[in-house]
Amino acid sequence: MSVLPDVSSLLPNTFFYPLLFISLVLWYLHQRFQSSRLTTMVNKLPGPTALPLIGNLYQLIGRLRPPQLLQYAIAESANYEKEGVVRFWLGPTKPVIGLFNPADIEVILSSNVHLDKSTEYRWFQPWLGDGLLINSGEKWRTHRKLIAPAFHLNVLKSFIPQFNSNAKRLVQRLRKEAERGTEFDVHDYMSESTVDVLIETAMGVSTGHSGDRSGFEYAMAVMKMCDIVHQRAYKFWLRLDSLFQFSHFAKEQEGYLKTIHGLSNSVIKKKKELFDRLQSDPKLQQQFAEDTENVDVTGTFLDSKGYIKDDLDDDVGEKKRQAFLDLLLETKKVNGTLTDAEIKEEVDTIMFEGHDTTAAGSSFVLCLLGIHQDVQTKVMQELNEIFGDSDRPATFNDTLQMKYLERVILETLRMYPPVPLIARKLNQDVKLATGYTIPANCTVVIGTFKVHRHPQIYENPNVFNPDNFLPEKMASRHYYSYIPFSAGPRSCVGRKYAMLKLKVLLSTLLRNYKVVSNVSESEFVLRGDIILKRDDGFRIKLEPRSRVQAAA
C-alpha cells in the first residue's frame, strides 16, 4: 500500500488541455476584436451591455419568434429615444446601429454615397437576382434611371381602368364574406388582388379574369419566402449559406421559388408575344397609346413639390412614358443594353415590392377603419360628395379629391409601415447630425416604425389620427420623420403607383361595404418578417352598403 497521497484527481483530465487551448484562443480573439478600430469606435455609441464574443446575442434567447423579436426591438430602442442612436453587437464582428432621429436618418438616406444595402439583402438573391431592390453601384444607377420613368404619374394615370376592373373583382370576391357576416382575414384577398393588378398594369398582361388562382399561389409563396429570409436574419446558424443549404428551409425555398418564378416567367413570355405583335401592327399601337392628359396634382401626396422630391418627379419627356415591362423590352430591342436575365430580375423585384407592401398597407387601412368608425364615416362623407348616388368607376380626378382618404392611408402607413426597417451597409465613416460617428463596415438600420411613433415628433404617437397629415402638420415636421417609402435617391419607385392604386381599390371597396372590427389595436400581434403584418390575421367583418353597388 502506497504511503503517498492520491493526487490523480488533482491532475488535469483529458478535457483540461483542449479547454484551456480553446479559452486562450477565445481570449486572444476577444482582445484582438476589442482593440480593433471598428470595435473602439462602435463602443463609443450608446447601447445595451454586450458580452465578450457573443455581444448582444444573449438578449435574443427566448425571443426567436417574429412577434417577440419585434416587441424586443421596439422596447429596447425606447431606452435610447433621447440619443436617437443604439448599437447592438450580433457576435464579435457584426455591429448593427439603429437610428431613429430624423436629422441622422437624413444624413444616410439623402446621401449619394451610402446607397449600398446591408449584406443580409443577399438572401433575396436566389429570388430577386441582382434586381433594383438589392443591387448597387453602376448597375443600380443605370437601372434606376431606366425604371423610374415607368412610374411617372402620366404613365400611372393610364392604369386607372385596370385599377377599377380589379377593384370591382375584389368587391365581387368579397361578397360571400359580406353575406356570411362573420370575421375573416382580409389580407389573402388583398394579396391576390394586388398581384393581379400589378400584372395588368406594370406588366401590361391581361390575367384573363378567368378564375385562375396563380396570383394567389404566388402571393402565398412570397409570404413563405419572406418568412425564410427573415429567419435567416435572427437564427444565426442559417446566416451561412454553407449551413443553410443543408437545412429543410433550403428545400422549402426551392419549392416556393418554383411557384414565384413560374408566374414571372409566364408573365414575361405573354408580354413578349404581345410586344412583338404590337411592333408589327400600327392599329394596335394606336389602341394602346398612353393617356397623357394634363391634370393638376398640386397639394396632394402624389405631387412631391411640398414633400420629398425625387426622381419620380423628373420630367422625362413624352417619349419615355411607357409602362414598366414595355419599357424594358423596348430598351432591350432598341439599345440592346438589357439582357433577358436582367429583365427577369427586375420583373421579380417589381412583382414582390409592388404587391406585398400594398397588400399589407391596404389590410391595415381596413382594420383601422373597422375600429375607428368615426373616421370611416368621414371617409364615406367624402366619397359621397365625390360620387353621390352614382356607382360609376373612379377617375383620376376623383382620386385627387380623396384628400381625407389620402390622410387615412398616410396615417396608417405611419403607424403600421409595411417596410418597418431599412438597412444599409456603410463603406465609409459617417458623422451624424447628433454628433456620433459610425465607422465604415457597420450595418445601419433605420427604424421606420420607431421614428413614426417618436413622442417628440408626433403628439400621441400611438393614437390613430389622420389629421396628423393635414398640410400644416406635415409642413411643421422634419422631412425625414415620415419615411414609409424611404426617401432620397434610393426611395421607393412605386410610391405614387401605390397611393393611386390604394385610393381606387379602397374607395371602391368602401362604397360597397361597411367595415367592422371587434379587435382593438392593442390586441394586434405584429410581426415584422420583411413586411409588417398581423400575426393574428387581418380580421374584419363586412356589411353590404345598400345604396351603391359595385362600380361597373
Give 57 or 160: the residue with its C-beta nearer to ligand HEM. 160
In angstroms, what is the minimal distance from the CB of 98 to ligand HEM?
15
Residue of minimal CB distance from ligand HEM? 494
Alpha helix stretches (DSSP H) within 245-395: 248-279, 282-287, 324-335, 340-371, 373-387
Give 215 or 484: the residue with its C-beta nearer to ligand HEM. 484
Residue 492 marked as a ligand binder: yes
Give 171 or 413: the residue with its C-beta nearer to ligand HEM. 413
Q: To 10 degrees, what angle do helices 137-147 and 340-371 make?
A: 70
In angstroms, what is the minimal distance from the CB of 301 to ligand HEM?
12
d(CA 252, CA 221): 10
**C-alpha cell recorded at residue 221:** 409563396
Q: Please say whether the beta carbons of 423 and 118 come within 8 A.
A: yes
Handedness of CA 516, 404, 199, 308 (dihedral sign): negative
Give 202 or 548: the residue with its C-beta nearer to ligand HEM. 202
Closest CA to 222 of 256, 262, 186: 256
Give 376 or 486: the residue with its C-beta nearer to ligand HEM. 486
In angstroms, what is the minimal distance from the CB of 246 to ligand HEM?
29
Give 207 or 358: the residue with its C-beta nearer to ligand HEM. 358
In angstroms, what is the minimal distance from the CB of 212 to ligand HEM?
21
Q: Please say whether the beta carbons of 271 and 288 come within 8 A.
A: no
Residue appearing with cell numbers 433594383:
132
d(CA 332, CA 181): 51
Reduce the secondary structure of 105-158 to three states and give it as a string: HHHHHCCCCCCCECHHHHHHHHHHCCCCCCCCHHHHHHHHHHHHHHHCHHHHHH
**Phi, psi angle pair for 134, to nearest 5°:** -115, -10
In angstroms, what is the minimal distance from the CB of 125 to ligand HEM?
14
In angstroms, what is the minimal distance from the CB of 347 to ligand HEM?
11
d(CA 88, CA 303): 38
Question: In the complex, which residues of this chain contact ligand HEM (CB under 6 A)?
Answer: 132-133, 144, 202, 349-350, 353-354, 357-358, 361, 413, 418-419, 422, 484-486, 490, 492-494, 497-498
Instruction: Please name every residue paired with 534 in a beta bridge, in sequence order, or none if there are none.
Output: 526
What amino acid is encoded at 292 in this protein?
Answer: T
In angstroms, what is the minimal distance from the CB of 11 to ligand HEM?
58
Q: Please say whether the beta carbons of 181 and 541 come within 8 A.
A: yes
Instruction: Please name every residue paired with 446 in a beta bridge, in sequence order, or none if there are none.
Output: 99, 422
Give 413 or 506: the residue with its C-beta nearer to ligand HEM. 413
Tell me the CA end-to-end span of the chain in Å, nearest whole number.
Answer: 106
In angstroms, what is the minimal distance from the CB of 471 to ligand HEM?
21
Give 57 or 531: the residue with its C-beta nearer to ligand HEM. 531
**Known binding positions for heme:** 492
**Known binding positions:** 492
